[in-house]
Amino acid sequence: MEKISIIDSKNHVNEVVEINGWIANKRSSGKIAFLTLRDGSAYFQGIVLKETVGEEAFAQIKNLPQETAVKIIGEIHEDKRSKFGYEIEISQLEVIGTSGDYPITPKEHGTDFLMDHRHLWLRSSKQHAIMQIRNEIIRATYEFFNDRGFIKIDPPILTGSAPEGTTELFETDYFGQSAYLSQSGQLYAEAAAMAFGKVFTFGPTFRAEKSKTRRHLTEFWMIEPEMAFTHQDESLKVQEDYVAFLVRNVLDHCEYALDVLGRDRDVLERYTQTPYPRISYDEAIELLKENGFDDIEWGDDFGSPHETFIANSFEKPVFIMNYPAKIKPFYMPLAPGRDDVVICADLIAPEGYGEIIGGSEREVDYDVLAENIEKFGLSEEEYGWYLDLRKYGSVPHSGFGLGLERTVTWISGIEHIREASPFPRLLHRLRP
């Protein structure tokens, strides 16, 4: 007899098969029991008839606690009433692992309780759907960049540098000297781009953010492509193609997960249409002022209400270009003819999900970069190797960083970034 996954039920209609899984929920009457079964691939219904399994087995099955692990044998049937479309009529059930008093019941639970039980909460159908979308975004990322000739390079996690500013660093002791958990792999990606042309990194990054928002983690995964001989306008094209590709692949491969989450497909379809609108920082400030925002001046960084208002003014993700130099990192070059804004762009997701990409062209001139390093109070010793890149065949190059969890949150349409990571790290959350 074939051992199958629930997700493959459609290929085994009217066949007797074996399935290994857990009982997620159950209800029963005198003669029939309905088990919600999950095996990690999907959830569906198992039906147990008293007359099929006999009185004793039926009584035992009826009383099995939630999350009992079982091996079942039964026949797959079409089930037109359920979203999933199939069910199994169980003829044999064997308990593989017992359970009891499972803390997460089908009732409502508070967020703190669920977060304390994240190791169990992951088993719920909503979390399962989100992790499938996360996995698809990861898969599609590798496909997108590999198909376009990018090489994946893995930057170090323990570093001496602080590319995104020195205020949000996790410091650790490295045999008597200070090391930091990486905020970004970018500087190493730049070195690799000078070696391999087009590269991308994909790994964990860390920010000791004191902010307690729906958009911030202290540990998150970032995809950072870097391209030699590439100006910002070409980079923006890669960015919008990449984001549209992610949405397209989630639409094509995560139908079931999107159903579970109740995500509107038509809205997502819109985001697969490129190009994305572009406005300058100057224009964004004007737009806000015209619409009664008195709490922001030219030179300020946007807060979440500002980003949401700007995003809502467009139907698709929107690039905000050329921010003031003083609110951006040391490696961004000044825009031609301006001494106050740099060649950069943030991509703001629709529906209030905020910034999902930060990117820029990179300063290529040795002297200007050395001056910036000094101006930003960074140590020349630490950035000597980075300056070397401007000494030996320095070329125009651009790159960007996409936050994985921000993107998962947006495409899934969920409320809070904590559900986009299997074991999220937040200001007050280190366990489980």
Residues that bind Mg ion (CB under 5 A): 358
- Residue 401 is a binding residue for ligand 4AD (CB under 6 A): yes
Helix (H) or strand (E) holding 398: strand 397-403
Shortest distance, position 172 Cβ to Mg ion, whole Å? 24
**Which run of H or of E encompasses 89?**
strand 86-97
Q: Which of 164, 240, 361, 363 binds ligand 4AD (CB under 6 A)?
A: 164
Residues 215-234 binding ligand 4AD (CB under 6 A) are: 216-217, 220, 222, 224
CA-wise closest residue to 7 among 32, 27, 37, 30: 37
The least CB distance from residue 329 to ligand 4AD, in Å, is 7
CB 307 within 8 A of CB 268: no
Should residue 155 be labelled a site residue for ligand 4AD when binding is judged by CB under 6 A? no
Asked whether position 419 contacts ligand 4AD by CB under 6 A, the answer is: no
Task: By CB under 6 A, tell whether 330 contacts ligand 4AD.
Answer: no
Q: Closer to Mg ion at the Cβ: 333 or 358?
A: 358
Mask: binding to ligand 4AD, 342-381, rule CB under 6 A, as x and -? Answer: -------------xxxxxx---------------------
CB of 376 to Mg ion, least distance (A): 16
Which partner in Mg ion, ligand 4AD, none is near 74 (CB below 5 to 8 A by kind)?
none
Sign of CA dihedral 390, 393, 394, 398: negative
Q: Does 424 bind ligand 4AD (CB under 6 A)?
A: no
Which stretches of 226-357 are DSSP H helices?
A: 232-253, 255-261, 265-271, 281-290, 304-312
Q: Minimal CB distance to Mg ion: which residue? A: 358
Q: 74 or 358: whose CB is closer to Mg ion?
A: 358
Per CB under 6 A, 240 contacts ligand 4AD: no
Task: Find, among 102, 89, 82, 85, the residue nearest to 61 by Cα.
Answer: 89
Q: Measure the CA angle with vertex 403, ends 251 and 303; round to 5°.
A: 110
Pick from 304, 263, 260, 257: which is nearest to 137 by CA? 257
Amino acid at 151: I
Say which entry of Mg ion, ligand 4AD, none residue 345 contacts (CB below 5 to 8 A, set by partner kind).
Answer: none
- Measured from the CB of residue 2, what is the shortest distance to Mg ion in angstroms? 50
3-class secondary-structure state, position 290: helix
Give the C-alpha separation, 309 to 172, whole Å.
39
Which residue, 211 or 291, is less far from Mg ion as judged by CB? 211
Q: Does 136 bind ligand 4AD (CB under 6 A)?
A: no
- CB of residue 161 to Mg ion, shortest distance in Å: 17
| Angstrom distance (rounded) from CA 220 to CA 206 | 6
Interacting residue with ligand 4AD among 21, 333, 403, 424 (CB under 6 A): 403
Binder among 38, 198, 328, 406 for ligand 4AD (CB under 6 A): 406
Q: How many angstroms separate the Cα of 361 from the Cα of each of 314, 334, 344, 369, 397? A: 25, 10, 6, 13, 6
Alpha-carbon distances of 387 from 156, 157, 271, 326, rounded to whole Å: 18, 20, 39, 21
Closer to ligand 4AD by Cβ: residue 17 or 349: 349
- Is position 200 an interface residue for ligand 4AD (rule: CB under 6 A)? no
Interface residue list for ligand 4AD (CB under 6 A): 163-164, 184, 186, 207, 209, 216-217, 220, 222, 224, 355-360, 399-401, 403, 405-406
